[in-house]
């Protein structure tokens, strides 16, 4: 069995990545399970910088192939904020609810036409002699009120284009067909398959 280490402490991301990859031949474990107890730094200015920083740190600590996800929400009216600060939008230890409330307050009663946004996900894979980066995005709008309790983060506020339900109202299997994370992982899959076939 091959081991892939996820360079994240976010349990929601771990669950989603395991479900989307759905590969019984790869044992997917977290950095903590691999013995990396330090908090992973993510102080870069872009999703790319942060993803690479996290994957490199875990690869250096373990010597094992590492995959990092850095993701967030970009709202056009807010000049692409919260962006890389999505997890800490309302403060360093903010809850999802606090972040969502801050976003709703900032958008106020803005018309739907001006509430356009996109989720972005950049994934970095680092292993011996390899550094690969892929990205995925999902466009939609931010509703005026949360709907649904599935998923995490901004899911209850985000309605993807072409759908009448938010990510928070969708079954996980449905979110995984169109999410930014699923799209990035679809691009990363061949990289992982090639790497694990080679070793």
Taking the complex as a whole, how short is the minimal distance between the CB of residue 19 and ligand IMP, in angstroms?
Answer: 12
Rg (CA), the chain: 17
Choose between 77 and 152: whose C-beta lies nearer to ligand IMP: 152
* Residue 53 lies near ligand IMP (rule: CB under 6 A): no
* Residue 154 lies near ligand IMP (rule: CB under 6 A): yes
Choose between 48 and 144: whose C-beta lies nearer to ligand IMP: 48
In 10 A of CB 76, how many CB atoms? 15
Check whether the bond before 146 is cis (ω within 30° of 0): no
**CA 1 remoteness from chain centre:** 26
Instruction: At 94, give phi and psi (nearest 5°).
Output: -65, 145
Choose between 102 and 196: whose C-beta lies nearer to ligand IMP: 102
- Cα torsion 68, 74, 80, 82 to 10°: value is -70
Residue 70 bears catalytic tag: yes
One residue of 76, 77, 152, 196 binding ligand IMP per CB under 6 A: 152
Residues that bind ligand IMP (CB under 6 A): 10, 42, 70-73, 86-87, 99, 119, 151-155, 167, 179, 181
């Amino acid at each position: 069995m091959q081991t892939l280490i996820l360079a994240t402490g976010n349990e929601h991301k771990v669950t989603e990545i395991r479900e989307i990859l759905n590969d019984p031949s790869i044992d997917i474990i977290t950095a903590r399970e691999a013995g990396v107890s330090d908090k992973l730094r993510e102080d870069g200015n872009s999703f790319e910088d942060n993803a690479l920083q996290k994957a490199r740190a875990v690869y250096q600590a373990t010597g094992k192939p590492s995959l990092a996800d850095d993701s967030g929400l970009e709202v056009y009216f807010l000049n692409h904020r919260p962006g890389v600060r999505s997890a800490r939008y309302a403060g360093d230890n903010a809850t999802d609810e606090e972040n969502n409330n801050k976003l709703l307050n900032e958008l106020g009663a803005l018309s739907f036409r001006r509430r356009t946004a996109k989720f972005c996900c950049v994934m970095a894979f680092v292993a011996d002699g390899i550094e690969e980066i892929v990205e995925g995005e999902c466009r939609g709008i931010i509703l005026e009120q949360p709907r649904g309790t599935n998923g995490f983060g901004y899911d209850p506020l985000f309605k993807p284009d072409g759908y009448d339900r938010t990510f928070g109202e969708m079954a996980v299997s449905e979110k995984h067909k169109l999410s930014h994370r699923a799209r990035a992982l679809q691009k990363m899959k061949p990289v992982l398959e090639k790497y694990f076939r080679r070793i």
